[in-house]
Structure 1
Amino acid sequence: MAPSMSIAFFSADPVAGKRRPLAAAEELRRRNEELEKEVMEATAREEATRVELEKTRERLLAVEEAEERLCAQLGDLEAEAVVQAREYRIQVKALVEELARARRMLGCDAGEISIGEEWIGR
């Protein structure tokens, strides 16, 4: 026969001032109810955490997609800005050359023309 162990629980009897053993089954049942309640609460917290995690994951995916779209748009805008800057530079250079020709035709001072050419060369 296997060895067994018994656990005795006592409670104070306020009237008699004596300690009396409680029924082990009653104490175990009470403790089991407490543990079941704790498990149910933990399960509910875990489920709430799972739901929150899923919502956070969905928000993260949305933010990542938005970031990718913004980066693509920014790249397009940068490329467009470079093209516009090149066109503007070409236009300014053409205007400076036209102004230089006009000044030559009018007989303006050569020093003024070189200032315009130096500026466009920057």
Structure 2
Amino acid sequence: MEELKTRNEELERELIKSLQREENIKTELQRLRERVRVAEEAEERLCSQLGDLEAETVDQAHAYRAHLVALMDQLEAAHKFIESAS
């Protein structure tokens, strides 16, 4: 009978340790889930910002090209003026 009581106490201690490990794992899992959620939100913000920057870059490229074309037109007009004056 004493042997069963001792074995029962051992099993209870193991159960308590197991339950504590399980609780620790649950806590760690919850922390990891929160970190993943934060990372996903950050990724979404970065993707949005990247899209905005890409659109801005395209707009700036179009504006730069238009400016270059205008300068080339002015240069061509200046050349024609100089040639006609000569």
Structure 1 length normalisation: TM-score? Answer: 0.67
* Count of residues paired in the alignment: 84
CA radius of gyration, larger in: 1
Match of 2:50 among 74, 88, 92: 74
Q: Which amino acid aligns with 1:107?
A: E
Greater strand content: 1
User: Alpha carbon RMSD of aligned pairs, Å?
Assistant: 1.1
Q: Which consecutive unaligned segments of at least 5 residues does structure 2 have?
A: none
Q: For 1:32, which of 5, 8, 33 is the aligned residue?
A: 8
2:22 alignment counterpart: 46
- When normalised by structure 2's length, the TM-score is 0.94
- Out of 58, 66, 69, the residue aligned to residue 93 of structure 1 is 69
Looking at structure 1, the residues matched to 45 and 3 of structure 2 have their Cα atoms a distance apart, in angstroms, of 63
Equivalent residue runs for 1:6-17 within 5 Å: none
Q: Which structure: greater helix fraction?
A: 2
Stretches of structure 1 lacking an aligned partner (at least 5 in a row): 1-24, 109-122
Identify which of structures 1 and 2 has the higher relative contact order when contacts are C-alpha pairs closer than 8 Å and 6+ apart.
1
